[in-house]
Amino acid sequence: MDPKHLYYLSVIVQYGSLSKASEHLGVVQPTLTRVVKVLEKKVGAPLLTRGRHGMSPTELGENLAAAGSAIAEQMEAAAGAAERWRSGHGEELRVGVGPMLARCVMSTLLEKFLAERWPYRLNLITATAGLLVDQLNADQVDVVIAPSLLNLHQESLRQEIVLRDRMAVYAGAKSDLRGRRRAIPIEKLNGRPWVAPGAFSSIHESPRELLDNFGLTEADTKVTFTGDVSMCLALLRSTSVLVMLPEKLADACPDFRGHKLRVDAPMPTRDIAFWSTKANQDRPQIQHFKMQVKAWLNNLFGDEGPLSTP
């Protein structure tokens, strides 16, 4: 059975008219009449019936038209892929990005992408690491660049650390802690208003657990944000709140400069990983993109030596 004939039948059923289908396909009407007769001869049953409101498919005709519609979708996908290659983009790569990466440094990677014309498109999705990992498992994204969690046991996923980072404390513009040259004792951070931005996610400890583990059992967490850092920035500019953020990423963002505190306590790590599924990790586009991400981060932050103190 000729796939083109099934495609023609699907268009006839879609428009309910030989003349309209003929106009859409750019073929003469007798050709479509002949196609329908050929198909009916092959299956031994009528495929279309005429009525007051045009042509309608029989049950068999409807089934064959559905097969023709699937062929049409495949034809459109093939045409789209060919067009992307002609335009120098090729296959689309769906990339999940954590909120801090998206806000602070991702634009520089996109500048590199546009300047070098990599052979695929990029479709970026921003969300918390927990949600992005779920999307990776569901094949809704191809790769994820987000905080790592080495004890997240998922056999289908692979994560590779591409940036070593740790948390640091940042204070709002009205905080009396800003501008101190000596390291601030950890107990001085207790009993103050805190906010938790999109840097926290479901694959990490909760904001309350992180503060408790840091010794801040009396810290007052007033607001928690999920998947967003813009509101946190607004509060840093206008209030005295405290917030814990990934240090390298925050220091790369002009919006956070001048807000970091020097704290007399070891800070928890918050490394960034390149996530992929084990089934797709060897795809050429993913391997190329990972190599570019590593080179980009190394160019931004240098080697993985100790972080500078504020």
Query: pLDDT by residue (tens digit) across 75-106?
Result: 777 776 666 555 544 578 999 998 889 989 99
In a domain, 22, yes or no: yes
In a domain, 31, yes or no: yes
* Max CA distance (Å), the chain: 91
- Name the CA dihedral angle for 293, 165, 248, 139, rounded to a multiple of 10 degrees: 40
Both 259 and 169 in one domain: the answer is yes
Number of domains present in the structure of the chain:
2
- Name the CA dihedral angle for 279, 282, 288, 289, rounded to a multiple of 10 degrees: 20
Both 61 and 154 in one domain: the answer is no
In a domain, 102, yes or no: no
d(CA 109, CA 95): 12
Region of residue 197 (left: phi > 0; alpha: psi -120 to 50; beta: else): beta
In a domain, 227, yes or no: yes
72-81 CB contacts, 8 Å cutoff, 24+ apart: 72/7, 72/10, 72/11, 75/7
In a domain, 207, yes or no: yes
Kindly state the average pLDDT of the residues 109-127. Answer: 91
pLDDT of residue 228: 76
Region of residue 301 (left: phi > 0; alpha: psi -120 to 50; beta: else): alpha
Both 242 and 122 in one domain: the answer is yes
pLDDT band at 15 (very low <50, low <70, confident <90, very high): confident
Q: Considering the chain, what is the average pLDDT of its residues?
A: 82
pLDDT of residue 308: 38
Both 251 and 299 in one domain: the answer is yes
pLDDT of residue 200: 45
Both 117 and 156 in one domain: the answer is yes
In a domain, 287, yes or no: yes
In a domain, 20, yes or no: yes
156-175 tens-digit pLDDT? 889 899 999 998 999 999 99
Both 210 and 283 in one domain: the answer is yes
Assign residue 37 the CATH number of its domain: 1.10.10.10
d(CA 36, CA 9): 7
pTM equals 0.64
pLDDT of residue 247: 93
Both 137 and 66 in one domain: the answer is no
Both 164 and 301 in one domain: the answer is yes
pLDDT of residue 210: 65
Q: What are the two backbone dihedrals, phi and then psi, of residue 287, each rounded to the nearest 5 degrees?
A: -65, -40
Question: Which of 92, 199, 203 has its CA nearest to residue 137?
Answer: 203
Distances 136 to 41, 154, 160, 200, 279 between C-alpha atoms, Å:
48, 11, 15, 18, 11
DSSP-assigned letter for residue 44: T
Assign residue 232 the CATH number of its domain: 3.40.190.290
Q: Where are the alpha helices (DSSP H) in the chain?
A: 3-15, 18-25, 29-43, 59-86, 99-104, 106-116, 129-137, 207-213, 230-238, 247-251, 284-301
User: Is residue 244 predicted with pLDDT exceeding 90?
Assistant: no
Both 72 and 113 in one domain: the answer is no
The number of residues making up the chain comes to: 310
The two three-digit tokens of residue 207, written as one number: 């904001």
pLDDT of residue 83: 61
Both 54 and 157 in one domain: the answer is no
25-30 CB contacts, 8 Å cutoff, 24+ apart: none
189-232 tens-digit pLDDT? 888 888 876 544 444 555 566 666 666 666 667 777 777 788 88
Both 74 and 156 in one domain: the answer is no
Domain end (from 53, 86, 119): 86
In a domain, 93, yes or no: no
Residue 37, domain extent: 3-86
Listed range (13-27, 94-108, 246-260) with the worst mean pLDDT: 13-27
pLDDT of residue 275: 93
Both 137 and 232 in one domain: the answer is yes
